[in-house]
Amino acid sequence: MTAFADLMAFQRETEALGQIAGRLGWDQETMMPEGAAEQRGEEMAAIEGVLHSRRTDPRVGEWLAAAQAPDAGGQRALDLIARAYGRNACLPARLASEIARVTSIAQGTWAEARARDDVAHFLPTLEKVVALKREAGQALAAGGYGGGDVYDALLDDYEPGATGDGIAAIFGRMRPRLVALREALLGARHAPEPLAHSFGKDGQMALARELATAFGYDWNRGRLDLAVHPFSSGSGNDARITTRVAETDPFNCFYSTIHEVGHACYELGIDQAYLLTPLGAGVSMGVHESQSRIYENQLGRSRAFTGWLYERMRETFGDFGLRDADSFYRTVNRVQPGFIRTEADEVHYNLHIMMRFDLERQLMSGALAVADLEEAWNTRFHADFGVRVDRPSHGVLQDVHWSVGLFGYFPTYALGNVYAGCLNKALRAAVPDLDEGLARGDASPATGWLRENLQRHGGLYAPAEVVERACGFAPDEGPLLDYLDAKFRALYGI
């Protein structure tokens, strides 16, 4: 028992230090004075250095070898620590620090390139990042992660147990139905009314707070602030969210808020017994995204909830140019091809992901050279979306992910949508009067069901397992596609 207890005590401090690093990141995006940026870089490097040395501390290996778990939860904690420790042990220290160094510079270079629409400015840096991440993937694959596959070994960090082939199979089944739906919708007559209004910042923020409350966000353990790019941050009893405000587009603020509330409710809903343990955070990026997505889309963009939101917006902002709740429902669910993933509707979103997934798999296998990436992107985009990319910031430069070395991350967004589809089916069956609450602006029964059936487990079960336990069936893409078909065909009257 001593090795187990010693390891858990050590790990608990590491988790606490990890929370601190997260808090600093939150501060940096919300509160930090601009002139502090360079100093903050050193501060972040110092805490990351402490975390890295703890995560690779040889004592962890010794404790793992000797530890006996007292129960299943303890065994799962050991497994999670062993997995992270084993992955770190595969990576030479030189490679780990080179990745940290290069990606921290690359993010700035990417931001410059995007602002100037200058792909060439970014390519040499992206070459380095891709080479380093391939090397990391090879080292992990050689250590047995991802079943020996380079891409899968990277993917495994964000979605343990998922494989590129498995995701490709899901995507292969999704694509025809999504494309057929998209074509049918784009062929239908559907002209949403334009918003004829400016939406004041204070009113938007007040309503954003109301939305978070409606979804059961616990203000005693969280807060809402402004940030350039909305995010959620923190685990345990301190899970904060951010949003942004554009006076001409209130839906950006409102649906960003609901999305981040989903992430935060997951963290806040985890069993208190798991606080600051390996089980005390969401189990994977895909499951995390399932929470943010079901809050944002299946619940937040439902006819019932949008009816309430329409009334609250009229009370807050007066007449804003949409004649009734049905018109409002059509507006927040408008389907149209667009360049930007983060602005995509529910039907197009997964097509964006499929494209990135195929391209990044090719980059990692070496089948696609970085020099050819832009052309590959533009060709594929035209084929998938029927529109020619007009500038790099609308194309290959739009997302930060690759610049910071996140290869294998994109598919977790689509997996989150698939899981959200399954959870929505099970939730609707279990809580038949859900829409009555949503129509009153009360989504807390959904949070209650999700907390009880999924969120509270934290890292206890593997990603697909926890979704299956919640749903009562093995997750697949069917419920998501059924939901999209039913919702959008009805909405467009086809």
* Residues of this chain, 362-421, that bind a copy of itself according to CB under 8 A: none
Encode burial over 186-205: b for 16+ CB neighbours within 10 A, e otherwise: eeeeeeeeebebebeeebbb
52 is a contact residue toward a copy of itself (CB under 8 A)? no
33 is an interface residue for a copy of itself by CB under 8 A: yes
400 phi/psi in degrees, rounded to 5? -75, -20
According to the binding rule CB under 8 A, does residue 216 interact with a copy of itself? no
Asked if 195 interacts with a copy of itself (CB under 8 A), we say: no
Q: Is 29 in the site for a copy of itself (CB under 8 A)?
A: no
Is 240 a binder of a copy of itself (CB under 8 A)?
yes
CA angle 280, 287, 336 (to 5 degrees): 145
Is residue 223 at the binding interface for a copy of itself, with CB under 8 A as the rule?
yes
Q: Is residue 201 near a copy of itself by the rule CB under 8 A? A: no
Contact with a copy of itself (CB under 8 A) among 3, 6, 25, 47: 47
Helix (H) or strand (E) holding 225: strand 224-226
Q: Would you count residue 221 as binding a copy of itself (CB under 8 A)?
A: yes
Q: Looking at 260, 289, 296, 346, which residue is catalytic?
A: 260
Of 43 and 315, CB closest to a copy of itself: 43
Which of 57, 117, 135, 218 binds a copy of itself (CB under 8 A)? It is 218
Largest Cα–Cα distance in the chain? 69
Is the separation of the CB atoms in 283 and 462 below 8 Å? yes
CA distance 376 to 357: 13
Identity of the residue, 242 or 403, whose beta carbon is nearer to a copy of itself in the bound complex: 242
Residue numbers 256-285 binding a copy of itself by CB under 8 A: 275-276
Q: Which one among 219, 315, 387, 429 touches a copy of itself, defined by CB under 8 A?
A: 219
- For residue 246, give both structure tokens: 């554009």
Q: Does 226 sit near a copy of itself (CB under 8 A)?
A: no
Q: What is the spatial distance between Cα 188 and Cα 331, in angstroms, rounded to a whole number?
A: 15
50 interacts with a copy of itself by CB under 8 A: yes
CA nearest 136: which of 195, 190, 95? 95
To a copy of itself, the closest distance from the beta carbon of 52 in angstroms equals 12
| The one segment of 9-17, 99-107, 337-345, 462-470 that binds a copy of itself by CB under 8 A | 9-17
Distance CA 290, CA 176 (A): 22
- Among 36-44, 95-103, 335-343, 457-465, which window interacts with a copy of itself (CB under 8 A)? 36-44
SS3 state of residue 185: helix
Q: Distance between CA 17 and CA 23 in Å, rounded?
A: 10
In the numeric block, which tokens belong to residue 44?
Answer: 């972040």
Among 2, 5, 39, 131, contact with a copy of itself (rule: CB under 8 A): 39
Check binding of 46 to a copy of itself (CB under 8 A).
Answer: yes
Instruction: Please select the residue that binds a copy of itself; options are 2, 5, 13, 390, rule is CB under 8 A.
Output: 13
In this chain, which stretch among 22-30, 146-154, 402-410, 471-479 interacts with a copy of itself, using CB under 8 A? 22-30
C-beta atoms surrounding 396 within 10 Å: 24
Q: Which two tokens stand for residue 269?
A: 């809903």
260 is catalytic: yes
SS3 call for 176? helix
Helices (H) and strands (E) in the chain, counts: 20, 3
- 100 vs 86: CA distance, rounded Å: 19
Positions annotated as catalytic residues are 260
The binding site for a copy of itself (CB under 8 A) comprises: 12-13, 16-17, 19-20, 23-24, 27, 31-36, 38-40, 42-43, 45-47, 49-50, 218-223, 236-238, 240, 275-276
